[in-house]
Structure 1
Amino acid sequence: MDARPEAPIRRILAVNFGGLGDAILFFPTLQTLRRHYPHAHITVLCEPRCREIMERQYLVDQVITADVKASADPQLFVQLVMQLRQLDLDLAISSGRSPLVPLLLFLSGAHRRVGFSPNRLGFLLTDRVPLKLRQYTGDMHHDLLKGIGIDEPAPLPRFPLSDLALEWAYAWLERQNLSASPGPIFIHPGASKMSVTRGIEKTWTAPQWQLMLEGLRQRGLPLILAGGPDDEELLAGIPTGAGVVRAKTETLEQLAALIAVSRLVIGSDSAALNIAVAVGTPLVGLFGPSDPDKVLPPDHPEFCAVHVAGLACRPCLWITRQTTCAALTCLNSLGPEPIWAAVDRLLETSALPASIGAAGPVNA
């Protein structure tokens, strides 16, 4: 593998196609790039749904979006290539595994092009990095930097929050009479509607969530039940009562701010868990078909995964299957008791994040 080039790297393209969660898991790569190349101009190419979260990143100078579904349109592909060529790139890296990735990087005109191998068009890359799937995705993306000679542990993702967003979150808690220390429990039961349309189920049904909520309410814990537009149908089926407040956020930063000022997050495998990691809030994640080792960083007990133990067929998603099965044994056989136990354990050792917006272990 080539050592880091002697020629200065002044203009960088970082490509990450995926959802909000995957965008957050790409943050460590951007953080390290910015630290090694503090004066470089960094452009991120991502899907339109990730524009807001990437523009929130102080690490990024420019955001370009492209609909990957439209990549088969030759005219749109050519337009994208011409836009990238105008950047006069010294370095381009991409987390994608499609054969189109090396082609896009090659046509961008970047002098140095880094991607994963194996890939059918990998010969178009100047530096190929072996793909190691069975690890935390933030670490997997960060492996790309080995292609330019940066071989160091990945930091945890960081989600920078503005003072305005935090002020909004604290004011919201005050209005809901939830501002008393040590803070509420933030519950985000939903998963993306895009996943559901693709035949991927990663969360409980409304009655299962209702049962879990009832156990927490009996403990006298203040609860926030939250979700976005994709979650309205699921949330409508979860009755709320005393001790449970519904939250509706207008922006992704507001969602992140509420998570940051909460004592604990409970949720399914969705971007909410990635945000919790990125703002340093302890969490309990509900996992069915997906692999928690890819979603949550290792050696951080404050980020706790709950799943059915001893079920040979899980995790299956993106490993042996591209969609979930009809039986969904991994979700249907998982009761609320392990979540209650995990919540009790974390509440004994955690308080509000010690440093909001700076991900890392929360001081006990």
Structure 2
Amino acid sequence: MSEPVKKKAVQHLLVWMPNWLGDVVFALPTLQALRKQYPEARLTVVARPPVSEILPCHPDIDCVIPIPTEIGKRALAQMRFAFSLRKYHFDLAVILPNSLRSAWLTLLSGAPRRIGYETDGRNFLLTDPLPVVKESRSIHGSDYFAGIVKPLGIETVDKTYPQLLTPDAIGKQRELLKRMGADPSRNLVIAVAPGASKPEKRWQTERFGILCQKLVKDKDAKILLFGSGGERELLDEVRRFCPGKSAFLLAGLNLQVVAGLLGNCRLLVANDSGLMNFAAMIDTPVVGIFGPGHPKTTDPPIAPERKELVTLNFECSPCRHRFFKECEPSPNKKPFCLEDITVTQVARAVDALLDRLA
């Protein structure tokens, strides 16, 4: 840090949020620690949709400014957006993403103090650049973000979350599920999210389908298939394995709606993904399928008894995601750390979690 930031000097605090849902989940404890450190300051966050959809309900956030989707990667449009932030007169900006772009836009926002990791050659854009965490591939995501605020005098970050899902939100979506034919009071409702940020992190679609088919036949389950708007085809492939009207495709929904639906599910089965961590944050039990990732870096934030993590613990996990440059692909073009996970293993994890939740 150049000079210590005095608490009274920070009247308006800007937090530039990560782009990915899982990273936002891991960053929220750091944001909450900033609120405790600067209780009198106005706290504004800038975030991209769709992650910006879940932030207005957080009690520590005063204002959410979504990054307009239409600006894309156009430099001039991005600059206009950044300049539009100057009217807020930020005193301090905490930049959580590692990108050069986020540091550049924060500079243009007019914030006089800008703190973040000196990644991506951006140290000249920051007033308070921090050395890159050398163990970034072996520490949990929440610890990585917590390191950014240590120079502000925040030595410990409480990794708990406020109640972001209200009974009203759960009740509203429960009525929707009843109309769909998946009444949580009468059916075992299980959420399934077969997507992930990269194809190499996705367990085979066919295996998700066989798992869903097994859950329907053995447990008379109702399956809610979650994914982004771009994953509709993927979800439909999984749905084809499910008999009758046992599975429901839910693609591209607002994240607040997704939260209400997940709150009505007994559990979620998902790849190592943002939705897995989002579900854990709102206390929906999870079965997480880990291949290239590892729980030591993306362990879902939920009590141990409310999660089952399926991983083969390859020595190279978590890897650098340089797929098939450092390992050989399987015949299905998946890394073997994911390919070798069977339907039986995941089904057993579901059974174990259901037994504990009973």
Q: TM-score, normalised by structure 1?
A: 0.81
Q: Equivalent residues in 2 for 1:94-173 (5 A)?
A: 94-117=95-118, 120-132=121-133, 133=136, 134-158=138-162, 160-173=164-177
Instruction: Summarize the alignment of residues 101-250 of structure 1 with structure 2, pairs less than 5 Å apart.
Output: 101-117=102-118, 120-132=121-133, 133=136, 134-158=138-162, 160-175=164-179, 176=181, 178-180=183-185, 183-191=188-196, 195-196=197-198, 200-220=199-219, 222-228=221-227, 229-238=229-238, 239-241=241-243, 244-248=246-250, 250=253
Deviations 1:91-123 (A, max 9, x none): 101112233444443443323221013563325
SS where residue 201 of structure 1 aligns?
helix
Match of 1:341 in 2: 348
Instruction: Judge conservation of contact 1:187–1:225 (CA < 8 Å) in 2.
Output: yes
Q: Quick one: distance in 2 between partners of 1:29 and 1:52?
A: 19
* 1:155-189 Cα shifts (integer Å, max 9, x gaps): 23456234442112222344425333795322222
| 5+ residue gaps, structure 2 | none
Match of 2:80 in 1: 79
Counterpart CA distance in 2 for 1:210 and 1:31 is: 39
Equivalenced residue count is 344
Q: Which amino acid aligns with 1:31?
A: Q
Contact kept? 2:280, 2:302, Cα under 8 Å: no
| Alpha-carbon distance in 1 for matches of 2:217, 2:53 | 38
Any conservation in 1 of the 2:21–2:278 contact (CA below 8 Å)?
no
Q: Which residue of 1 aligns with 2:49?
A: 48
Decide which moves more: 67-76 or 36-45. 67-76
- Per-residue CA distance 1:201-250 (angstroms, 9 max, x = gap): 32123321122223333542523231233332122222212683315374
Residue 322 of structure 1 and its aligned partner are, at CA, apart by 9.8
- Compute the displacement of 1:71 (Å): 7.8
Cα shift at 1:273: 0.6
Do the aligned partners of 2:188 and 2:220 also contact (CA within 8 Å) in 1? no
* Gap change, CA 1:37 and 1:319, over 3 Å in 2: farther
Alpha-carbon separation, structure 2, partners of 1:123 and 1:115: 11
CA 123–320 in structure 1, closer or farther in 2 if over 3 Å, else same:
farther
Q: Does 1:35 align with 2:36?
A: yes
The 3-state SS of whatever aligns with 1:7 is: helix
After TM superposition, the score normalised by the length of structure 2 is 0.82
CA contact (8 A) 1:184 1:221 kept: no
- Could you tell me how far apart the structure 1 residues matched to 2:242 and 2:76 are? 50
Any conservation in 1 of the 2:276–2:300 contact (CA below 8 Å)? no
Out of 327, 336, 350, the residue aligned to residue 357 of structure 2 is 350
Cα 1:338/1:157, change in 2 over 3 Å: farther
Q: Do the aligned residues in 2 keep the contact of 1:268 with 1:285 (CA within 8 Å)?
A: yes
Q: Which residue of 1 aligns with 2:260?
A: 257
- The aligned counterpart of 1:307 is 311
Distance 1:26 1:112 in 2: 20
Calculate the aligned-residue CA RMSD, in Å.
Answer: 3.3
| AA aligned opposite 2:279 | A
Q: Where do residues 56-67 of structure 1 align in structure 2 (5 Å cutoff)?
A: 56-66=57-67
For 1:180, the aligned partner's letter is S
Amino acid across the alignment from 1:91: L
Tell me the distance in 1 between the aligned counterparts of 2:282 and 2:301: 16
For 2:24, the equivalent position in structure 1 comes to 23
Counterpart CA distance in 2 for 1:121 and 1:236 is 42
Shift in CA distance, 5/317, structure 1 to aligned 2, threshold 3 Å: same
AA partner of residue 36 (structure 1): Q
Aligned equivalents of 2:132, 2:160: Cα separation in 1? 20
Distance 2:334 2:171 in 1: 45
Given residue 287 of structure 2, which amino acid in structure 1 is its aligned partner? V
Question: Aligned partners of 2:275, 2:162: CA distance in 1, in Å?
Answer: 14
1:88 correspondence with 2:95 = no
Work out whether residues 140 and 296 of structure 2, in 8 Å CA contact, stay in contact via their aligned partners in 1: yes
Instruction: Name the amino acid aligned to 1:274.
Output: N
Taking only the aligned residue pairs, the percentage that are identical comes to 28
CA distance in structure 1 between the aligned counterparts of 2:325 and 2:163, rounded to whole angstroms: 29
Matched residue, 1:357: none
